[in-house]
A and B are shown apart, each in its own frame.
Chain A
């Protein structure tokens, strides 16, 4: 049974999407229930996959789609490959999808009225695509899956408000260019090696010692540029802020934590498994130092751009740009600590971005205004929401015991180990800017506008005056927020275990 887990994770939401389309737009509740069940099953299977990989001493699960046997030692068909890293990311994707579906319950019916079934079908397809990207061991299949996720996300974003269509179009252009770059790189590799399986490409490259061949270097650069565009690595981030901010809120809450993170995962995969550490980090190429500096610029620019925004969702999207800089920089530091730190940050950033986006969506929904200036007295009006928001915000700032602190700890350790002080400084700078950004909101939300008259502070008391009366959202929205903030803390407290798993997996490939 265990060996079929990878494909089941994909098949369940795929069929779920079909059923949802068949149910049609007249039955929004059944659509919701179907996708809830399918994603629930999928996330349970992916949790079992994590357990299975751990129980098997980090043994990689391999699955040949369609049962194509290998010929002459090369894979012919498409292979799925799940190690602990893939299993963790797949669990993150499916679980966020599941929790986000709970959140979508009430939102979908108002925000994408009349298109509810399409929404649920597309979001399940998106999850299939993302899980496929993480698990596939075939470079071309990876491209196909990237396109699947892109196409579904274009549609999902375009369902949003008036400005969403244009943002989605922007995304289409940038996304297509990025994907084409990736495809070009894969093309070079195919010409040179005659295979598309990632492990086989690596083997052929190694056996024939093609590392210094110009086309391989060009292929690497193309693939990196393509992936950077897809993950919104500064200065290729232009499409992201508008797309995520104007998308329907439940689309934004799903895509913001996951899309860029999965692309970072693909980048680490390509660097470590496809090309290998010796090639990527060898001193012969100028790119090592260059990419670190680019990530420094990404972190600084992302933080400053976020600081300049007063719209909370825009602000959060620029923070994602900065966080992508963290991960790219960490992955390129050239040591296992940095790589593992970057990978740990994938998980922790997914948790905290999810948390913050849900909280921000709830706040915007209730306040009716996305500008920070309108957030007076939110701690009194929506205490539960603000608790969730605070947990996410403290994690972004990087205060213990949230996961943001530990990912910063590991990334800074990696930076110190590599002697890349500019990267360490950039991380600290971004923490400080995040502190300013969020305490600005806290001050507003806690103390409100400057007034003369004050009564005794009475927390959790609804019979205060109507200005500060509690106006929480329904539990279908609060519950996901609490799960997300719970995960922010859980990933933080479990950091030692997770980091050990990640390090083990990364060391296995290096030896």
Chain B
């Protein structure tokens, strides 16, 4: 049931309208942050307004009018879109709170610019989530790349600019080089129809070898998903302030990447059609390779944020792996993992930022014994790690469970082994951090004096990370909504 509605438009618009207000209130930081909070709550509220309608099996749409022959700029909200919007907009509120603590705690410069671009990025994210056709998706994808670029090079120093260049060249380069021609090819092949409707538009219109090339072009072209070999933008983006890394590079931007891949598998092709073409396995192997290699690289990283970045690359590859199984269990696992990993990883990034604000420490080797000074942060880190690893009683267990089921459905025994190995690697690169911090005392040599004055980070940093950590626990107990929304696209 497709129903016309203005709510998707307003949901998209509200954070965009916040931008001029943020710029106008540049002299009054409290009002400025108030505007961001207002926009964030309104956005979440509107997503909640749409939620019951979507659960009833309705699809909300809004169109701006045709921009190319046969292609309108259109919003179309379905189960996958609403789930992603829900994750992004709820975490925006927490991240705003956290940003206030972080940015003020570090007395960062150019805070107005920071909050303004943050709001634009959220609008673009919602635009991707609600995109009703490939062109709309592409446009908002590009806007997201451009609007996060100033956030990445926020510090403006040499390292930030180098990181920013890598960031933009990878994201813009791949999308223009692969996605754009693939999209035009689809447009030409499918007879000017690239709208995501019931049933995928490329279904049955393309041969096996062409299909493989188009699928590869899309999957690698949406480089925000961090698949190797176009992953190196993500570790480089870690030069950004931590709230950016937390919301954008653990949730919004990277999830936009995998979200696009999910759309390609379900909305452009169809999982059944891909099975017929027999091209899914290529993506499976790329994803499996990415999972293992990125986990191994993560083990070697001493900079906490970089280690988390490589962990993100691996976790994103799980999501791609899940859809590439082309079974409904695999897709369910992927959709669930979008939400579960979002809450788990943002907790870890919040903790990393809190540690940096409180103690100025960036390297894992310096964090031994830090649990005494920062017990709450470190316990939250432990919970986040367990959720990412996928151990009960935390949310990540569900998505891992379904990924295993997906691998078994697809008769990919090798992939079951990959999943097992990678889970062990997850344990190896994540757990030592909180464990060492909580249960070991720092060796006598390195700075016992400097550590003594460290306290927990400001409350504005601490509250969000506690909430997200608790959410990981709650998702284990109440995973129903995620399943429901996932089932809406798999059926």
Contacts and interface: CB of A to CB of B under 8 A. Distances in A.
B109 A457 contact: yes
Interface stretch (A136-144, A320-328, A395-403): A395-403
Contacts of A221: none
A496 B68 CA distance: 5
Contacts of B109: 454-457
Interface stretch (A302-310, A353-361, A424-432): A424-432
Nearest to A451: B156
B139 interface: yes
B176 A412 contact: no
B158 interface: yes
Interface string B148-173: 00100100111001001100110011
A450 B157 contact: yes
Contacts of A400: 67, 135, 138-139, 142
Contacts of A454: 109-110, 156
Interface string B173-189: 10011001100110110
A417 B164 contact: no
A235 interface: no
A344 B113 CA distance: 37
A194 interface: no
Contact of B110 (A413, A456, A499, A500): A456
A447 B69 contact: no
A42 interface: no
A412 B164 contact: no
Interface string A427-466: 0100110011001000100110011001111110000000
Given A417-B188, A435-B173, A409 B68 contact: yes
Interface range, B side: 35 or more
B149 to A, nearest CB: 8
Contacts of B315: none
B30 interface: no
A210 interface: no
B66 A428 contact: no
A387 interface: no
B26 interface: yes
Which of B66, B150, B153, B180 is the most central at the interface, judged by chain A CB atoms within 10 Å of its CB?
A: B180
A412 B110 CA distance: 41
A499 B187 contact: no
B69 A496 contact: yes
B406 to A, nearest CB: 34
B23 interface: yes
A406 B156 contact: no
B26 A458 contact: yes
A317 B55 CA distance: 56
Contact of B161 (A435, A447, A495): A447
Contact of B26 (A406, A432, A456, A499): A456
Contact of A447 (B156, B173, B181): B156
B191 to A, nearest CB: 12
B181 A424 contact: yes
A458 B110 CA distance: 8
A416 interface: yes
A412 B26 contact: no
Interface string A411-423: 0110011000000
Interface on chain B toward A: helix, strand, loop, or mixed SS? Answer: helix
Contacts of B161: 443, 447, 450
Contact of A450 (B26, B156, B164, B169): B156
Contacts of A435: 168-169, 172-173, 176
A469 interface: no
A493 interface: yes
Contact of A413 (B113, B138, B158, B188): B188
A428 B153 contact: no
B188 A416 contact: yes
Interface of A is mostly: helix
Given A454-B109, A456-B112, A428 B180 contact: yes
B184 A398 contact: no
Given A399-B142, A459-B23, A428 B181 contact: yes
A416 to B, nearest CB: 5
Contacts of A493: 67
B10 to A, nearest CB: 21
Given A439-B168, A447-B156, A401 B181 contact: no
Interface string A380-412: 000000000000000000111100001011001
Contact of A416 (B67, B173, B181): B181
B190 interface: no
A159 B13 CA distance: 51
A458 B187 CA distance: 44
Contacts of B66: 496
A435 B173 CA distance: 8
B111 interface: yes
Contact of B164 (A436, A443, A458, A496): A443
Contacts of B26: 456, 458-459
Contact of B184 (A401, A412, A495, A500): A412
A499 B67 CA distance: 11
Nearest to A399: B142
Contacts of A456: 26, 109-112
A436 B176 CA distance: 13
A500 B110 CA distance: 47
The 5 closest A-B pairs by CB, nearest first: A457-B110, A454-B109, A457-B113, A447-B156, A400-B139
20 contacts: A399-B146, A401-B67, A401-B139, A406-B68, A416-B181, A416-B185, A428-B181, A431-B176, A431-B180, A435-B176, A443-B161, A443-B164, A443-B165, A447-B156, A451-B156, A454-B156, A456-B112, A495-B68, A496-B67, A496-B69
